[in-house]
Amino acid sequence: MRLVPRWVLFSSGCAPVLLIAGWAISAALEGAAYDPVTQTISVLAAYGASGSWVMTGAFYALGVCHLLTAWGLRAAAAAGRVALAGGGVAALAVATVPVPSSGGSLGHGSVAAVGFTTLALWPVLAATAGRGTPWALRPLPSFGATTVMVGGAVWFLVEMHRDGMAGVAERVVTAVQSLWPFVVVLSCLRHRAGRRAEPWTHDRVGGTASRPQGRTTAPRPGRRAARRPGRP
């Protein structure tokens, strides 16, 4: 049984591509009135924005990609898959509840915070132990990914509070969050390919190759079994 089906590589790979393409195209349509350094991505999907339809579509596509990836990522722990799916639902909600053309929105801010939190926590929740675990699902890399995402979210909040480089901070953390599912899926597929490429085991003592345990070589047709000495 495969750790993940191959189509999950497509859904997880499309997530960062569509998100980054969405904010790049939307910013180009908005023109000089938009500052990507200080203004957030949500501003591009606000009511009345020139490229709102592009950014809104990118949020919807991101949510669907996360939901599909969570569904197919069977190698991850159930709690992590639920958290990743929650991040997908939050992305759909962000697209459904855009910010107004001026001022803030409690509903939009709430669902955005939920999305940041679930997507930051899903790597450590998806971690599994064992010798046969793909490296991106092992505890140490998973904890490292969560640490980076939480640190990026804190950076974003600080920049929002001081009216600084909020746009840059948000782009960095959302890009990392959208890319990590693809890294996990790729590690699962490479792990399976690596195991299939080792039909022989190596004897550490004698340095010779031997067949895996549990396999026997069937006798060739037409050749009788050797008789023991002393028996007719």
What tens digit of pLDDT does each residue of 210-226 get?
444 544 455 555 555 45
How does residue 108 score in pLDDT terms, banded at 50, 70 and 90? confident
Compute the average pLDDT of residues 182-205: 66
> What pLDDT does 220 receive?
56
Query: Which of 72, 99, 91 has its CA nearest to residue 181?
Result: 72
Element (H, E) at 202: strand 201-202
pLDDT of 205 higher than 50: no
> What pLDDT does 208 receive?
46
> What pLDDT does 219 receive?
53
pLDDT of 92 higher than 70: yes
Compute the average pLDDT of residues 52-61: 96
> What pLDDT does 204 receive?
43
Contacts with 63 (C-beta within 8 Å, 6 or more apart), sequence order: 88, 89, 90, 91, 92, 95
Report pTM. Answer: 0.80
